A and B are shown apart, each in its own frame.
Chain A
Amino acid sequence: MFWFRKRRLEAALAASLYDDATPHERDSLESALSRDPVLRNEYDSLRVLRNSIPLDRPELKIDLTPLIRRRLEEVPVHSGGRRLALALGTVSCVLILAALGWNHSGKSTEPGIQIATSQHTGVPTMLGSLFQETDALVKQGDLATAFQKLSDSLAAHPDDPLAADAQLRLADLAFDLKRYPEALAATTTLMTRYHSFVAQSPERERHTIARRDLLAEAEAVQFASLYSLDTARRDRANPLGKLEDVIVGYQNSLVAEEAALDMGKLLLAESATLPDTENPRLTAMTLARDRCSNPVAIALLEIKIGEIYQNDLRDFSSAEAHFMRAAANPVLTQRAKTALASLAEAKSR
């Protein structure tokens, strides 16, 4: 009986602390508190505790929608429809890139199969003969099977003379399949285990490092930035608007730069503008900036354009003009100042 009363009193006390007690609970609690100074003391100290615990809410800094969409897509579906969609998507990406006729410094998040060309030694090896098969699968759009075959063979023949090349292909295929965690693991393995192979070619090295940086950066947000970029690319109604959202949403990231380049490519495809053959990135970034309506996106692209003038074209006065325009936006003032400081340093060298 005592236990039951005590429990009821505790329940009333907790409810009262959060203003959620019934009238009956309030009455019986008031009566008990007036009789029992120990209980009164406990009630008061629990109230102090309740008031001491801040009500702040942890902020969710990313949109979960693309991540959830991704998880829903991850259900193992072996329908012909999905494979067909994947194949069509891959082929269309390759065709768009080929039609545009330029390759922006190996940083693309689009299929990397062109860059991942192997240097066949002419010596027949287990992996060498597999490459023909996987190349054919990639051409058919069956990237998943190509990835699995490469992965299995690489595990079975880790000392094959073409193991490094296979690892590069594996990393690119994982990326093209949007299996970003696996792509990051494969790229990291490539850079650590096959470092000399990567360093053999400057283009390959640039591509691998850029890819690793992009994935490592995206990993911090569970690859949400890359999934958002994928979603924006797939958007049929308003891809430019969605890409601009990615630029603003992930403004300090490599993914934002990818989104800007994509905007540039789309705009280039629909306009009569000819890309600057010396620096297609500059053309893409300029087109993207002109199309953006969000002031933060515009200022961010001013910085990117300034960086191209500074680093690629060594045109310091143009770089400065772009940085100054970016500095006028309060959100990016600090970043623009950093860019101006870096420019001053470059000038003095």
Chain B
Amino acid sequence: MDWAHRGDEDLALAHKAGDTPAFEELVRRHQGRVYAIAYRITGNREDALDVAQEAFVKAYRKIDAWQPVGGFLPWLLRLTVNQSIDALRRKKRRRHESLDNVAVEALAVAENTAPGSDTERCVRAGEIAVRVQQALEVLSPSQRSVFVMRHYEGLQLAEIAAVLGCTVGSVKVHLFRALRKLQTQLKDLTDHEVASGDR
């Protein structure tokens, strides 16, 4: 069976009927996005890898609870966000995360995303990535989830509401408060951008 050209819902229905290769195609298709969301919410690679795997394991085991009417991806992202928030809570209890770790990972992200750029730009991109990732940690889990899904993943606000199981109005308020907090955290960064724009 050529699963690569089938829609998510077809694959999920096939998996529901017991077809494991269909599920593996869903993993291959969405693992990058699931990992990216988990990384932005949890703030580190190790937890993100763990969360991403756990989200797919949950999707595999709870496929009977999935209803085609809502689409597969929102359901999968909901599992991812819930797992990420759980991981955040656990981490809060452990409190062992070091900023150095965040810095190294954020720099790695910057390096990956700015291939061929000059050193100064790469260092600057790395600094921004570190600052943003640290600033995200100030947000509440809900604010962080909404911001990550809208800003980085480009989901529509109504889609986010469907993922989180809340109203669009609540999503907008979470987004506004997230932006407000980030503004405080990243004030010097935006000032720099404004100054650069003035020059």
Contacts and interface: CB of A to CB of B under 8 A. Distances in A.
A155 B180 CA distance: 55
B157 A51 contact: no
Contact of B156 (A11, A20, A45): A20
Interface of A: 7, 10-15, 17-18, 20, 45-46, 48-60, 62-65, 67-69, 71-72, 222
Contacts of B67: none
12 contacts: A10-B172, A10-B177, A11-B173, A15-B157, A18-B150, A18-B175, A53-B128, A57-B152, A64-B35, A64-B56, A65-B24, A222-B50
For the complex of A and B, list the 5 residue pairs with the smallest distance between their C-beta atoms, beginning with the closest. Answer: A11-B172, A56-B113, A14-B176, A14-B175, A60-B35
Contact of B176 (A10, A48, A52, A53): A10
Given A49-B182, A54-B128, A60-B31, A11 B189 contact: no
A187 to B, nearest CB: 21
A222 B50 CA distance: 9
Contact of A7 (B24, B35, B173, B175): B173
B190 to A, nearest CB: 5
Nearest to B132: A53
Given A14-B175, A14-B176, A71 B53 contact: yes
Contact of A54 (B31, B32, B54, B113): B113
A72 B27 CA distance: 13
Q: How would you classify the secondary structure of chain B's contact residues: helix, strand, loop or mixed?
A: helix
Nearest to A54: B128
Given A11-B176, A57-B36, A58-B45, 6 more contacts: A10-B176, A11-B169, A14-B173, A14-B176, A56-B109, A65-B28
Contacts, number: 119
B199 interface: no
A245 B180 CA distance: 47
Given A45-B183, A71-B53, A50 B151 contact: yes
Contact of A17 (B132, B156, B179): B179
B128 A52 contact: yes
A81 B110 CA distance: 48
A49 to B, nearest CB: 5
Nearest to B114: A56
Q: How would you classify the secondary structure of chain A's contact residues: helix, strand, loop or mixed?
A: helix
Contacts of A56: 109-110, 112-114, 125, 129
B163 interface: no
A57 B36 CA distance: 6
Contacts of A14: 172-173, 175-176, 179
B186 interface: yes
A54 B132 contact: yes
B112 A46 contact: no
Interface residues of B, number: 50
B164 interface: no
B39 interface: yes
Max count, chain A CB within 10 A of own CB: residue among B129, B151, B176: B176
Nearest to B112: A59
Contacts of A60: 31-32, 35-36, 52
A58 B176 contact: no
A249 to B, nearest CB: 13
A58 B57 contact: no
Contact of A72 (B60, B173, B177): B60
A13 B178 CA distance: 12
Contacts of B172: 10-12, 14-15
Nearest to B46: A222
B113 A49 contact: no
Given A54-B129, A59-B109, A64-B56, A49 B28 contact: no
Contact of B190 (A7, A52, A68): A52
Nearest to B183: A49
Contacts of B183: 45-46, 49
Contact of B179 (A20, A50, A63, A68): A50
Contacts of A20: 150, 156-157
Contacts of B32: 57, 59-60
